Amino acid sequence: MTDSTIRESAMSENVIAGDAISVRGVGKTYAASAGPVQALLPTDLEVRPGEFVVLLGPSGCGKTTLLRMLAGLISPTEGTIEIGGKPLFTGRDAKPARDALGSLGFVFQAPNLMPWRKVWRNIALPLEAKGIGRAERKRRAEELAGLVGLEDFLDHYPKQLSGGMQQRVAIARALIHRPSILLMDEPFGALDAMTRDSMNLLLQRLWQETGKTIVLVTHSISEAVFLADRVVLLSQRPGRVQDIVEVDFARPRDLSVAADARFGEMTGQLRKQLGGHA
C-alpha cells in the first residue's frame, strides 16, 4: 500500500457519523464537606450530529463538570442527557449505559500516557480491555497514528515526544474504539501558542475527515472562535448558558481567519461578555 492508500483506509474506517447530544435541564451540585457547591445551574443544549461545539467560560464556571457528565463520568443532580437519542444514564442507580459510553471518546488537558509503553501500545491501550488480539491492536493503532501524523513514531516512548505530539497520542487513543463523539477538556491548554495553532489545524482536519461530533472546552476566546460551529458561552459559577454564538467562517479555516474583521468583532464581543473573567 502507498502512503495515500493507507491514509484513505484509515480515514474510511474511522468515519463514523457523529451522534447528536441532547442536554435538558442538566444541573450539578457537589456535596462537599463545607456544604453543597452548585457548579452548574439547569442547562439546556442541543448538539447536532457532526457539529463542532466549543464551551467557553471563566475558570470554575462548570465547564469540566458539564463535560464529565456528557462523558458519563459523573451523574447530573437533575435533568437528562441523551446520546444519539438514547438516555446516557439509565436504571435506578443512574449508571451510564454501556453502548452510550462506546460512542464517547475523551481527551483531557494532560495526555496521561504510560511512560513504559511505546506510542502504539499507548494508542491501543483501550483495545486490550476488550480482548482484541495484538495484530489487530497494532493495525488499528497504526491507522490512528496516521490520522494524527504520528506514523513515524509508533515505536517511540512518550518521553521522546514533544508536548504536542504526546497530546496527539492521547487524541489517537481517544478515537481507537471508533466513538462517534469526541469530548475534549482544554486539550491544548498546556501547549505553547505555536503548537496550539498547529493542533487547532490538525483537529479541524481530523473533524472534517471523520465527521465526528466534537464538544471542546476552552478558556481561550480565539481558539473557541477558530474551531467552533457554535460557541456556548457559560457565565461565572454557578454556570449557566449566557449566550450561543454561531461562527460561520468557511471550512477549512486557515489561521489567517484571525485577521478577518468579523473574527475580531466576535472575539471582542465574547471578551466583553466575559467581563475580563477568561
Residue nearest to Mg ion (CB): 64
Number of residues that bind ligand ADP (CB under 6 A): 13
Could you give the string, one character per residue 207-246, with x where binding to ligand ADP holds by CB under 6 A and - elsewhere? ------------------------------x---------
Q: Does residue 61 interact with ligand ADP by CB under 6 A?
A: yes
Alpha-carbon distance of 229 to 43, in angstroms, equals 19
Alpha-carbon distance of 123 to 169, in angstroms, equals 6
Least gap, CB of 209 to ligand ADP (angstroms): 29
| Nearer of residues 19 and 185 to Mg ion, judged by Cβ | 185
Partner interacting with residue 176 (select from ligand ADP, Mg ion, none; CB below 5-8 Å by kind)? none
Q: Does residue 76 interact with ligand ADP by CB under 6 A?
A: no
| Paired sense of beta strands 78-83 and 86-87, if any | antiparallel
Specify the stretch interacting with ligand ADP by CB under 6 A; choose among 11-19, 32-40, 79-87, 165-173. 32-40
3-state secondary structure of 138: helix
Alpha-carbon distance of 274 to 222, in angstroms, equals 13
Q: Containing H/E element for 139? A: helix 134-147
Q: Does residue 30 interact with ligand ADP by CB under 6 A?
A: yes
Number of residues that bind Mg ion (CB under 5 A): 1
Q: Does residue 34 interact with ligand ADP by CB under 6 A?
A: no
Phi and psi at 96, nearest 5°, equal -65, 140
Q: Following DSSP, what letter does each residue of 53-98 receive, concatenated?
A: EEEE--TTSSHHHHHHHHTTSS--SEEEEEETTEESEETTTTEEPH
Specify the stretch interacting with Mg ion by CB under 5 A; choose among 59-67, 83-91, 138-146, 192-200. 59-67
The DSSP code for 160 is G
Q: Does residue 64 interact with Mg ion by CB under 5 A?
A: yes
Residue for grid cell 474504539: 177
Partner interacting with residue 100 (select from Mg ion, ligand ADP, none; CB below 5-8 Å by kind)? none
C-alpha cell at 188: 491544548
Q: Please, what is the angle between helix 193-210 and helix 163-175, to 10°? A: 20
Specify the stretch interacting with Mg ion by CB under 5 A; choose among 12-20, 57-65, 143-151, 169-177. 57-65
Least gap, CB of 216 to ligand ADP (angstroms): 13
Alpha-carbon distance of 64 to 187, in angstroms, equals 12
Q: Please give the residue ranges that form the binding site for ligand ADP (CB under 6 A).
A: 30, 32, 37, 39, 57, 59-65, 237
For binding to Mg ion (CB under 5 A), which residues are involved? Answer: 64
